[in-house]
Amino acid sequence: MKNILFSAIFALSLVTATAAETNGPAPATDRVGFPTNYAKSYEVLRTVPRDEGKKLVTVYGNRAAASMTNRTQLPYPNGSVLVMETASTVKDTTGQPAKDAAGNLLKDKVLGLHVMRREKDFGVAYAEKRSGEWEFVEYRADGSYLTPPEKSANCAECHIKAGAEKDFVYNGRFADPGKQ
């Protein structure tokens, strides 16, 4: 009897752990792909200082994503990859963010990469949390996972709020002041 009770509790805790970790239905495999060489081969669409310049966010697009130069062209073409890189910045001797002669922040270490890829029929696995034809993954600079595909339902769910009229991309190249 005791054993049955223990296994029931164990099974229950497994179920809760899985639900908490996955946040909902999500793709089982990585169809986004680590964007090797994005810093050199993708176009910089926008940079945004964060945390009073302690961090610098850079949004990159591959050729297909960068072809979106005006929102009248939406939706993004299939094959589009958007990368949102967060990096720490170089600090001066007083601990304040250092700037180059032109007043730009200097990137130090890449802390993480939010990546979304659009392809035909992508996103089906997110079920009710689907945001268009995109799938989402978050990588470290070395290609390991911060948010693997099976835990990416949160990404898709929040991008629903960007809206179908923006193809579920909050900003991409386009900064909407006050709407971030």
Question: Which residues bind to ligand HEC, rule: CB under 6 A?
Answer: 48, 59, 82, 84, 114-116, 136-138, 147, 152, 154-155, 158-159, 162, 169-172, 180
Nearest CA among 62, 58, 66 for reference residue 88: 58
The CB-of-93 to ligand HEC minimum distance in angstroms stands at 30
By beta-carbon proximity to ligand HEC, the closer residue of 109 and 161 is 161
Output the CA–CA distances (angstroms, integers) from residue 46 to 130, 172, 174, in the order listed: 26, 7, 8
* CB neighbourhood size of 153 (10 A): 23
Q: How far is the CB of 84 from ligand HEC (least distance, A)?
A: 4
Q: Which is nearer to ligand HEC, 144 or 180 (CB)?
A: 180
Q: For the CB of residue 135, give the shortest distance to ligand HEC in the complex, in Å.
A: 9
Question: Quick one: 97 or 152, whose CB is closer to ligand HEC?
Answer: 152
In the bound state with ligand HEC, the residue whose beta carbon lies nearer, of 60 and 97, is 60
CB of 102 to ligand HEC, least distance (A): 22
Query: Smallest distance from the beta carbon of 63 to ligand HEC, in angstroms?
Result: 16
Range 93-130 burial, b when 16+ CB lie within 10 A, else e: eeeebeeeeeeebebbebeebbbbbbeeebbebbeebb
CB nearer to ligand HEC: pick between 93 and 180 = 180
95 touches 108 (CB < 8 A): no
Tokens 């697009």 correspond to what residue? 61
CB of 134 to ligand HEC, least distance (A): 9
Q: Is the peptide bond before 149 cis (omega within 30 degrees of 0)?
A: no
Burial class (CB in 10 A: 0-12, 13-18, 19+), 180: exposed
Nearer to ligand HEC, 89 or 152 (CB): 152
Fill in the amino acid letter for 44: V
